[in-house]
Amino acid sequence: MSFYDVPDGVEIRGRYDHQFAQILTRDALQFVAGLQREFRGQVRFAMECRREAKKRYNSGGSPGFDPATRFIRESNWKCATVPPAVADRSVEITGPVERKMIINALNSGSKVFMADFEDALSPSWENLMKGHVNLRDAINQTITFHDQARNRVYKLNNTIAKLFVRPRGWHLPEAHIIIDGEPAIGCLVDFGLYFYHNHSMYRSAHGAGFGPFFYLPKMENSREARIWNNIFEQAERTAGIERGSIRATVLIETLPAVFQMDEILYELRDHSVGLNCGRWDYIFSYIKTFQAHPDRLLPDRVQVGMTQHFMRCYSDLLIRTCHRRGVHAMGGMAAQIPIRDNPAANEAALELVRKDKLREVRAGHDGTWAAHPGLIKPILEVFTSNMAGKANQIQTAAREDADAITEEDLVQMPHGTRSLEGLRLNTRVGIQYLAAWLTGTGSVPLYNLMEDAATAEISRVQNWQWIKYGAVLNGNGVKIRVTPELFAKVVEEEMERIKREVGLEKFTRGRYQEAGKIFAKQCTTPELDDFLTLDAYNLIVVHHPKTSARL
């Protein structure tokens, strides 16, 4: 049996693999451990602040602008100039750090590829470590993949997208790496291993002196951005590279963060390349933030789109904030994906994507996300034909009108109706997503839409909210109140439907029964769990030599 060569205080409980050992080198682990030792206190404090804020919202409070940081919002300052290598981000494809998908994404014609350790990845040891091997090979441009079944070899084109990497959120531990007796902080492992192995090659071969580039998820407050800024500075000092080489785009995807956008950019002003509208987590966060407010029961998930007032204001204010500070205002993900077997449905889905992207570019966004290579061309067409030949709209779409957006606008309740079909769909999607996640797949096509951890979270918390407060479903003329008994019946019936749809063999082989139980528990628990994936993470941790692994 082989073992990883670890520095003092570090223990690896994940499976040994000689390829993983090239990533988990003693020096790389020393770098990660250094980050953990330096920043664990700050991260712990930031998580405690999240809990304090939650108590305030649960006692009737609502997030709002912080009077103490008014001077940051009102004074004139700019972020560092955008690196030329990433001036044009008109379309960015996203996807998990899976080998074939990385090659496809980099070759897709997209300007950027966001390689995801987060919403689109189930963070098993195998997925994470293979992801690092894949990214290293991608940056060295040696990555290939042989699809044995189709006898097809994948390799990189001459022109490829610029790579951004999204580490996990602050809340997730990495249970396979123990540092000083406690699980490593997941995002420090993702960031640390990737940065350590790739910063030099990235800056010389891809970033024209800048990089690596990152996307930073699920922050709630600028103090969390300050930690990232400190981490970047420590990484730059350790690597002996210029301050400001690393650049990151922060996802504004929690309700509290929309009131902190200037402050977040300010903390990261030497390391920023903008903000992004992470619309799916944002909707999830809206429900979560107001979990103790029974007067805020949302309509069906399908009705909570970007044209709802609170979503439109969020996107407009993000554009205004970014352009005032000189950085990109990125749009979000339309959930539609190509429908291969139905041309009419495919065209209708494409039309929805085009409409969403047209709204974004006209509002002033500088670029947007695509979930699938088949969407790059149509999205690029919409953006390029509406940006007057420019790489972005930072200088041309000031959106001063968005200064009038108020706190009330940003929390306004979405309009619409609730239906039994909405409850059923949430349940069907939530269970199938969780079953996939437990078996190692973090993004899946379901009913012709992309589903990932963020979209599944909406299904979970919406069900929880409706059950907790006995929401009246009023969408189909007949009024029905949601009760735990009704939900139990829905779960039973939807499990049967899933079994029919996926077939008995896949159903029996998969983890659907287990997913059904977890999802049902999470929707009916008296206190809402903060994250679906945090609870479920225990079920994908596999310690070696094999032991029962609970955090």
Ligand X SMILES: CC(=O)SCCNC(=O)CCNC(=O)[C@H](O)C(C)(C)COP(=O)(O)OP(=O)(O)OC[C@H]1O[C@@H](n2cnc3c(N)ncnc32)[C@H](O)[C@@H]1OP(=O)(O)O
Going by C-alpha positions, the residue among 242, 222, 225, 334 that lies closest to residue 214 is 225
444 is a site residue for ligand X (CB under 6 A): yes
Q: Which of 119, 300, 366, 452 is catalytic?
A: 452
Instruction: Tell me which of ligand X, Mg ion, ligand LL5AMS7Z, none is bound by residue 337, counting a contact when its beta carbon lies within the kind-specific cut-off of 5 to 8 angstroms.
Output: ligand X
454 is a site residue for ligand X (CB under 6 A): yes
Stretch that binds ligand X, among 293-301, 330-338, 356-364, 478-486 (CB under 6 A): 330-338
Q: Specify the residue for token string 């996990």.
A: 168
460 is a site residue for ligand LL5AMS7Z (CB under 6 A): no
Number of residues near Mg ion (by CB under 5 A): 5
Residue 333 CB, nearest approach to Mg ion (Å): 9
CB nearer to ligand LL5AMS7Z: give 334 or 339.
334
Helix (H) or strand (E) holding 26: helix 26-58
**CA dist., res. 187 & res. 168, Å (int):** 5
Stretch that binds ligand LL5AMS7Z, among 39-47, 155-163, 275-283, 294-302 (CB under 6 A): 275-283
> What does each C-alpha distance from 318 to 49, 244, 301, 307, 521 come to in angstroms?
24, 23, 23, 15, 36
454 is a site residue for Mg ion (CB under 5 A): yes
459 is a site residue for ligand X (CB under 6 A): no
Per-residue tokens: 474 = 């009023």
Residue 501 CB, nearest approach to ligand LL5AMS7Z (Å): 26
Q: Do residues 162 and 213 lie in contact, with contact meaning Cβ atoms separated by under 8 Å? A: yes
Say how many residues make up the chain.
Answer: 551
Q: Specify the residue for token string 């080998």.
A: 99
Going by C-alpha positions, the residue among 32, 38, 366, 274 that lies closest to residue 167 is 32
Q: Could you confirm whether 166 is annotated as catalytic?
A: yes
CB nearer to ligand X: give 100 or 226.
100
Among 101, 179, 304, 425, binds ligand X (CB under 6 A): 101
Among 271, 279, 320, 418, binds ligand LL5AMS7Z (CB under 6 A): 279
Residue 88 CB, nearest approach to ligand X (Å): 19
Q: Do residues 359 and 343 lie in contact, with contact meaning Cβ atoms separated by under 8 Å? A: no
Among 119, 190, 236, 494, binds ligand X (CB under 6 A): 119
281 is a site residue for Mg ion (CB under 5 A): yes
**CA dist., res. 282 & res. 285, Å (int):** 5
416 is a site residue for ligand X (CB under 6 A): no
Per-residue tokens: 369 = 């996300």
Q: Which of 166, 247, 301, 428 is catalytic?
A: 166
Q: Helix, strand, coil: what percent of the chain each, to 5?
A: 50, 15, 35
332 is a site residue for ligand LL5AMS7Z (CB under 6 A): yes
**CA dist., res. 521 & res. 21, Å (int):** 38
Amino acid symbol at 187: C
92 is a site residue for ligand LL5AMS7Z (CB under 6 A): no
454 is a site residue for ligand LL5AMS7Z (CB under 6 A): yes
Per-residue tokens: 241 = 């590279």
Going by C-alpha positions, the residue among 399, 43, 77 that lies closest to residue 267 is 77
Residue 339 CB, nearest approach to ligand LL5AMS7Z (Å): 21
Q: Which are the contacts of 203, defined by CB distance < 8 A and separation ≥ 6?
A: 209, 210, 211, 212, 241, 245
Going by C-alpha positions, the residue among 189, 183, 200 that lies closest to residue 167 is 189
Q: Which residues bind ligand X (CB under 6 A)?
A: 93-95, 100-101, 104-105, 116, 119-120, 280, 333, 337-338, 371-373, 443-445, 450, 452, 454
Q: Which residues bind Mg ion (CB under 5 A)?
A: 119, 253, 278, 281, 454
Q: Which residues bind ligand LL5AMS7Z (CB under 6 A)?
A: 119, 251, 253, 278-281, 332-333, 454
Give catalytic residue positions: 166, 452
